[in-house]
Amino acid sequence: MAHRYFLTTINGDIATVQGAEASHLVKVMRIKEGDSVVLTDRSGWDYNAVAREVGKDEITFDVVSKEKNPAEPTKKLTVYMALPKSDKLEFITQKMCELGAVRLVPFVSEYCVAQKSKKDDSKISRLQKISDEACKQSGRSAPMVVEATRTFKEILTQLPEYDKVLLFYEQGSEKLREMDFTDCENVAIIIGSEGGFSQREADMMVEKGAVNIVLGARILRCETAAVTAASLVMFSLGQLE
């Protein structure tokens, strides 16, 4: 697979790459005039391009062709992830983007050990960079968006927006294989932190339309549950065939 880079601007058949992407192309990839690359616009389109002018902080390309990115999902998956400890959210961010999620929303639940902090903005910025790199590595064009950390009450207000919301919870009773995803275009999954959810929280999410799903008899780590749930749902939506 060709290396992929985010373009900065595009005007007709001329594209530019600036900043860190340009620096990487010059200093690491040793790009020269006439070299071919794949540029992506963060919205689902790829551009086959040839370097025209190479500067230290800006590279100009001639666009040869434009095509819809085949790796972008046709269904939208949002992941609501209760804040886990340490660097687990970095791993989860990377894997959710690779699997095709379009949005990751961290939130604080009752049993979260980790909490929102004054450094939250810088952490979200780092997570977005991880998503950007995972996007390029996996052949996507539009990176998964990592949102600022929400409160539990805030995510409750968002749940009615989806065609289907799946709460993965050890006390769940419904089975994923019995779910009907016909006509579902916009789906959300909710994953707990190491401590899971309280019964009160689970009941409140179900009241907002979430379906309580069980992932078998074994208790999974939160990062394992996130990858497993996203994989199974994306398969059910026809996005991993």
Q: Tens digit of pLDDT for each residue in 76-87?
A: 999 999 999 878
Same domain, 54 and 137: no
Instruction: Classify residue 1 by its DSSP letter.
Output: -
Q: In what order do the strands lie in the sheet with 14-18?
A: 4-6, 36-40, 45-54, 58-68, 14-18, 9-11
Q: What is the mean pLDDT of the chain?
A: 92
164-168 and 210-213 strand pairing = parallel
- Dihedral sign computed on CA atoms, order 20, 24, 25, 26: positive
For the full predicted model, state whether its pTM sits above 0.75.
yes
Task: Give the Cα separation of 73 and 133 in Å (integer).
Answer: 17
pLDDT beyond 60 at 31: yes
| Residue at a domain's end among 50, 68, 86 | 68
Helix (H) or strand (E) holding 31: none
Same domain, 30 and 101: no
Question: Residue 169 has what pLDDT?
Answer: 85
Collect all residues with Cβ–Cβ distance below 8 Å to 133 and sequence separation of at least 6. Answer: 94
Same domain, 62 and 150: no
Which residue in 159, 208, 213 sits closest to 191, CA to CA? 213
Question: Residue 200 has what pLDDT?
Answer: 95
Question: Residue 209 has what pLDDT?
Answer: 95
Residue 131: inside a domain: yes
Helices (H) and strands (E) in the chain, counts: 6, 13
CATH of the domain at 49: 2.40.240.20
Same domain, 64 and 80: no
**pLDDT band (50, 70, 90) for residue 2:** low
Instruction: Classify residue 161 by its DSSP letter.
Output: G
Question: Residue 166 has what pLDDT?
Answer: 97
Which residue in 149, 142, 152 sits closest to 109, CA to CA? 152
Task: Give the Cα separation of 205 and 162 in Å (integer).
Answer: 13
Same domain, 190 and 123: yes
Residue 241: inside a domain: no
Question: What is the domain count for the chain?
Answer: 2
Q: CA angle, corner 106, sides to 105 and 108, nearest 5?
A: 135
Residue 113: inside a domain: yes
Q: Tens digit of pLDDT for each residue in 184-235?
A: 999 999 999 988 899 999 999 999 999 999 887 888 899 999 999 999 999 9
Residue 149: inside a domain: yes
Same domain, 60 and 97: no
Range of the domain at 224: 76-236
Q: Tens digit of pLDDT for each residue in 108-161?
A: 999 887 777 767 778 999 999 999 999 999 999 999 999 999 999 999 999 999
Same domain, 162 and 123: yes
Same domain, 96 and 43: no
Question: φ and ψ at 6, to 5 degrees?
Answer: -80, 125
Same domain, 91 and 45: no
| Residue at a domain's end among 12, 45, 68 | 68
Collect all residues with Cβ–Cβ distance below 8 Å to 112 and sequence separation of at least 6. Answer: 82, 83, 84, 193, 195
Residue 221: inside a domain: yes
